[in-house]
Amino acid sequence: MDHKKLSNLHKIGAVSSLSGVPTPTLRVWEQRYQTFQPQKTESKHRLFTDDDVLKATLLKRLTEQGHGISNIANLSTTDLNKLLQQQQETNQRKARTGLQGQSASVAVIGLTLAARIESKKFTLSFNNQAIRITDIFSNLTEALAATFQTKTQILLIHTNSLDAAVQVDIHRLAKLNNSLQVIVLYNYGQEPVIDSMKRSGMIVRREPISDSDLADLINSLRVVDTQSSAAHLPSGTVIPARKYDDIELMRVAGISSDILCECPRHVAEIITQLASFEQYSRDCLNKSTEDAHLHSYLSTVSGSARALFESALEMVAKHEGIDLRALSK
């Protein structure tokens, strides 16, 4: 058997460890419901795929929420994920009291990463912040060829190797789906490529990374809870990318204004400073896991404030008759 193929296959004990499903239960699901069709080695060992790991994880979550295994054992991972998201949305609606953050939509590329995100252990480490897994793909090639079910706010990607070709594919995928933010986890990578992706605003981290650290990365992209309906940014949603770069803001700051307090200049300068600090905090998240909670929070606060001030700049520009689109040319 091909050694490369073997690297993506798992013995039943590994599937149990990764999914949290006891080995005897996996055997029952396989024999009674034909949930899995593992390959067999010459020595009669059963080998399971990454898709099997994800399926076992999803089945565990759904059976814990009351679904009968006989009713769902033969559903695809896509259908199981949809069912789990529907169940979670129902639970969130029942638990909702007062103002509560909206869930962020996430597309996951990499089956083992998807299994990890779908696990109850990760959900607990995420401190009850709601995320919706809208799409799951085995790899970038499959994701690029597919039609996403819905607009995805966050792309969460795992790749074994991070080189220039993979970088191009990731940028293409983000552009095709208008994703607001991208998190890339890799095992081996080229430093120039990694630095380039970080400069473009992506979060790039080398594996292994703990569940709590991964949750911090995702939380760093979510709008801070302002408890204000006038903020124009729903609490819990994903922080949008920068609307205006430093050059455009410099042009705004240089425009003479009829407002005595020179609001366009001051707001433009504040946005520039907040964007710089947002990037600094994100760089700290990229470099190490030390003080990760702190830097995640700082990135969230500065990013939320930057997005709010961008909305304020648009209000000032409208009042002053300034065409911001013309400044980007």
User: Residues 164-209: pLDDT tens digits?
Assistant: 999 999 999 988 888 888 899 999 988 899 888 888 888 898 888 8
Within a domain: 15: no
194 and 114 in one domain? yes
Domain assignment present for residue 296? The answer is yes
In a domain, 29, yes or no: no
Residue ending a domain, choose from 219, 234, 255: 219
* Averaged confidence pLDDT in the chain: 79
- Token duo for residue 226: 């302002």
In a domain, 224, yes or no: no
Asked if residue 312 and residue 257 are part of one domain, the reply reads yes
Same domain, 122 and 204: yes
Q: Which domain CATH number covers 68?
A: 3.40.50.2300
| Residues 258-280: tens digit of each pLDDT | 544 577 888 888 888 888 888 88
* pLDDT score of 4: 43
The pLDDT assigned to 134 comes to: 82
pLDDT at 94: 54
Task: Assess whether 254 and 208 both reside in one domain.
Answer: no
81 and 144 belong to one structural domain: yes
> Is the same domain home to 102 and 215?
yes
Q: Answer whether residue 83 is part of any domain.
A: yes
Token pair for residue 186?
């890799």
Q: Read off the pLDDT band of 16 (50, 70, 90).
A: confident
Residue 225 lies in a domain: no
Q: Are 281 and 212 part of one and the same domain?
A: no
The first and second tokens of residue 244, run together, are 């205006």
User: Does 144 lie in the same domain as 101?
Assistant: yes
Q: Which domain holds residue 320?
A: 246-327
Could you give the 3-state DSSP secondary structure of residue 155? strand
Q: How far apart are CA 319 and CA 55, in angstroms?
A: 54
Q: Count of domains in the chain?
A: 2
Alpha-carbon distance of 170 to 145, in angstroms, equals: 13
Residues 121 and 195 in one domain: yes
| Of 27-31, 218-222, 241-245, minimum mean pLDDT range | 218-222
**Are 159 and 207 in contact, with CB atoms under 8 Å apart?**
no
- Do the Cβ atoms of 54 and 133 come closer than 8 Å? no
Per residue in 25-76, pLDDT tens? Answer: 999 999 988 999 988 888 888 899 888 988 888 898 888 878 888 889 898 8
Least confidently predicted of 50-59, 86-95, 226-235, 254-263: 226-235
One domain for residues 103 and 140:
yes
Q: Which of 178, 202, 219 is the last residue of a domain?
A: 219
Q: Give the confidence band of 233 by pLDDT, cuts at 50, 70, 90.
A: low
User: Which tens digits make up the pLDDT trace of 132-148?
Assistant: 788 888 889 888 988 88
Per-residue pLDDT band at 282 (split at 50, 70, 90): confident
Q: How many residues does the chain have?
A: 329
CA angle in degrees (0–180, nearest 5) for 235-185-13: 105
In a shared domain, residues 268 and 168: no
Residue 149 included in any domain:
yes
How far apart are alpha carbons 19 and 208 in whole angstroms? Answer: 17
Q: Is residue 226 part of a domain?
A: no
- Which of these ranges, 69-73, 77-81, 154-158, 210-214, has the smallest mean pLDDT? 210-214
What's the confidence (pLDDT) of residue 169?
92
Q: Give yes or no: residues 77 and 207 share one domain.
A: yes
Among 219, 235, 270, the domain boundary falls at 219
The rounded distance, in Å, linking the Cα atoms of 229 and 226 is 8
pTM: 0.61
